[in-house]
């Protein structure tokens, strides 16, 4: 075989991929390879020719082996470079978004209400959810067998005398007894419990309660405070009216309505075609309640008000059904 033929193999090696490289190695250096056969055939030559050809073939074999090795290394390196390029991590790519939660609409409204009253100088007061009969009823002028107790069917605890509070009003009594005879201005948000058995009332819900006790507190202070609150929450254009009402713990008592936010006072199902929505109950603190709180009803007066946070949340966000607020449905909650 002539020199240029071996040269062609060297050039082929430089172009080969890994599979071709192995095929070339077998073709030239394998057990029946061209070069192997040529070396084997040396023994057939006369001694002088054998020597010359032997040297030539051995140089060729060394050259081919070296070229095979160097090509194999080149291929391995380029494979590594390619792999590195493919597996590269781009640290500048944006990450997987993390879904952030937010407070429940009821919690947002409660927070909003508290902040409005705190801005008016009220302090937040909290009380226990398990109460005794005296704080929950008697001190608030609900004597035993008083018919108003029927409106607040309660969960009583097996160990006598305790119940789950039916309203946040017992916080009034606790706050008064801690402050008497000094002035008092509190806002008391919290969870309350009633044994309601119809489909539209939950057995646990939230109220917020306000109480002011001081010298010379009048109905005018109550109206101004609540009007400020309602306009702060619903905007200055909302219509407001007070209606006489009855609660055991206030005298006189009133309810505050706002112009229907759903129909613009034209009349709709949600306002029972009246154009008005009830928002809260209020009144001047009954003298018996002041006495139970440790105050002298001859020396001080006070006003109190209370409202349901679920109901207000429905009005504020114009949600037509209270049950949606309690179902924990993310498709609903993520809208806030």
Rank residues 155 and 316 by Cβ distance to Zn ion and give the closer one: 316
Residue 259: CB minimum distance to Zn ion, A:
9
Residue 308: CB minimum distance to Zn ion, A:
18
Rank residues 228 and 265 by Cβ distance to Zn ion and give the closer one: 265
Rank residues 14 and 321 by Cβ distance to Zn ion and give the closer one: 321
Contact stretch for Zn ion (CB under 5 A) within 197-205, 271-279, 281-289, 326-334: 271-279
Residues 287-306 that bind Zn ion (CB under 5 A): none
Distance of CA 285 to the CA centre of its chain: 39
Residue 176: CB minimum distance to Zn ion, A:
38
Rank residues 275 and 297 by Cβ distance to Zn ion and give the closer one: 275
Residue 274: CB minimum distance to Zn ion, A:
8
What is the side-by-side order of every strand in the sheet holding 250-259? 123-124, 184-193, 204-214, 301-308, 276-285, 250-259, 240-247
Rank residues 107 and 239 by Cβ distance to Zn ion and give the closer one: 239
Burial 299-330 (b: 16+ CB within 10 A, else e): ebbbbbbbbbbbbbbbbbeeeeebeebeeeee
Nearest to 238 by CA among 210, 257, 219, 266: 257
Residue 284 β-bridge partners: 303
Rank residues 217 and 261 by Cβ distance to Zn ion and give the closer one: 261
Rank residues 263 and 333 by Cβ distance to Zn ion and give the closer one: 263
Q: Is 239 in the site for Zn ion (CB under 5 A)?
A: no
Please say whether the beta carbons of 185 and 217 come within 8 A. Answer: no
Rank residues 233 and 263 by Cβ distance to Zn ion and give the closer one: 263
Residue 321: CB minimum distance to Zn ion, A:
15
Q: Is 271 in the site for Zn ion (CB under 5 A)?
A: yes
Residue 185 β-bridge partners: 212
Q: Is 63 in the site for Zn ion (CB under 5 A)?
A: no
Site string for Zn ion, 249-268 (x = CB under 5 A): -----------x-xx----x
Residue 272: CB minimum distance to Zn ion, A:
8
Residue 113: CB minimum distance to Zn ion, A:
22
Residues 69-108 that bind Zn ion (CB under 5 A): none
Residue 234: CB minimum distance to Zn ion, A:
14
Rank residues 202 and 270 by Cβ distance to Zn ion and give the closer one: 270
Residue 265: CB minimum distance to Zn ion, A:
7
- For Zn ion (CB under 5 A), the number of binding residues is 5
- Enumerate binding residues for Zn ion (CB under 5 A): 260, 262-263, 268, 271
């Amino acid at each position: 075989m002539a020199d240029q033929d071996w040269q062609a193999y060297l050039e082929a090696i430089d172009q080969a991929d890994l599979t071709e490289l192995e095929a070339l190695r077998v073709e030239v250096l394998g057990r029946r390879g061209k070069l192997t056969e040529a070396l084997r055939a040396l023994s057939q030559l006369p001694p002088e020719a054998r020597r010359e050809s032997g040297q030539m073939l051995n140089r060729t074999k060394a050259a081919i082996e070296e070229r095979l090795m160097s090509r194999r290394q080149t291929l391995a390196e380029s494979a590594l470079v390619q792999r590195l390029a493919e597996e590269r991590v781009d640290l500048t790519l944006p990450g997987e978004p993390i879904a952030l939660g937010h407070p429940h609409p009821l919690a947002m409204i409660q927070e909003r209400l508290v902040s409005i009253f705190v801005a008016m100088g009220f302090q937040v007061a909290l009380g226990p959810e398990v109460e005794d009969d005296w704080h929950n009823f008697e001190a608030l002028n609900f004597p035993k067998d008083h018919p108003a107790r029927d409106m607040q069917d309660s969960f009583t605890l097996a160990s006598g005398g305790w119940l789950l509070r039916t309203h946040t009003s017992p916080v009034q009594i606790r706050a008064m007894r801690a402050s008497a005879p000094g002035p008092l201005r509190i806002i008391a948000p919290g969870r309350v419990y009633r044994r309601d058995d119809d489909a539209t009332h939950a057995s646990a819900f939230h109220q917020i309660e306000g109480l002011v006790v001081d010298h010379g507190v009048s109905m005018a202070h109550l109206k101004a405070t609540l009007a400020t609150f309602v306009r702060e929450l619903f905007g200055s254009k909302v219509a407001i009216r007070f209606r006489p009402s009855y609660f055991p713990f206030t005298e006189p008592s009133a309810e505050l309505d706002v112009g229907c936010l759903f129909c613009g006072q034209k009349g709709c199902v949600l306002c029972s075609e009246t154009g008005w929505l009830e928002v809260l109950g209020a009144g001047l603190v009954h003298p018996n309640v002041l006495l139970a709180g440790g105050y002298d009803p001859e020396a001080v007066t006070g006003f109190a008000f209370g409202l349901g946070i679920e109901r207000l949340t429905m009005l504020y966000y114009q949600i037509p059904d209270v049950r949606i607020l309690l179902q924990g449905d993310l498709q609903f909650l993520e809208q806030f």
